[in-house]
Amino acid sequence: MRVSRLGSDGTRAGRPSARDADDVRAETPATAARADESHTARRRDPLAIAARLSPLLGLAVSIGLVWWGLDSGVLRSLANLQAFIDSLGAWGPIVFLIVSAAAVVFPIVPGGLLVIAGPVLFGAIEGTVYNYIAVCAGSLLNFLIARHVGLALIERIFPARLVDKYLGWTRSPHFTRAFAIAIVLPVAPDDLLCYLAGTTRMRWGTYVAIILLGKPWALVAYGLGISTVLLQLVPW
């Protein structure tokens, strides 16, 4: 004879009771409704909309600048471009620093393009120094913003799937080491990681040391390296 085990409420052990099933059926629509409301709210959020549209706006502005540069002759040769930058005086580096730092904090234009543009516009050494100042300033600001605002802002700026993918890194006891490697070797979206680092218990001094000591390697390898190759390959 097979004896059925009963739970404390008189139902078969391991099987949900009718009341549990009713609860599941009652909770499922509510959970789905909340998820839909959250998704709808994100779609209507002005900051989230701006984050989605800003790359397109940056692309449109970039195309407009290229068209103007070709029409005016500034972009017809590297000598013309550098002469134009020199004619701006101190405003050239100032504008570049502001735009580059802002691109780290908010995705106005792809930051990688500006990192490559630095050595082309200002020369290898000066352009790399400007890249370093701008990227470090933006990265430090990302940490401070996240520390005071929290994860809610990050989820509004970056795609939810991307945030969920790298949020697991912050739960690892080795996050600080992984973060340092990601800063030295640009193998992950370091702008997002800088924001996420601000939501962890990482100390400010540790974060500053990683940024200041780790960024030069990536900037030299990526910005200076690629710009040098492009100038060699592209007749300008």
Q: Where are the domains of the chain?
A: 38-233
Tokens 């059925």 correspond to what residue?
4
Say how far apart CA 169 and CA 149 lie, in whole Å: 20
Distances (CA, A) of 115 to 57, 120, 207: 19, 9, 21
Can you give the pLDDT at residue 236? 67
Higher pLDDT, 20 or 92: 92
Higher pLDDT, 48 or 131: 131
Higher pLDDT, 226 or 103: 103
CB neighbours of residue 192 within 10 Å: 21
For the question of whether the overall pTM of this predicted structure is more than 0.85, the answer is: no
Higher pLDDT, 231 or 180: 180
Distances (CA, A) of 54 to 16, 152, 176, 219: 50, 19, 30, 24
Can you give the pLDDT at residue 193? 92
At 64-84, the pLDDT tens digits run 877 887 788 887 777 888 888
Can you give the pLDDT at residue 23? 44
Residues ≥6 apart with Cβ < 8 Å to 13: 4, 5, 6, 7
Average pLDDT, rounded, for the chain: 78
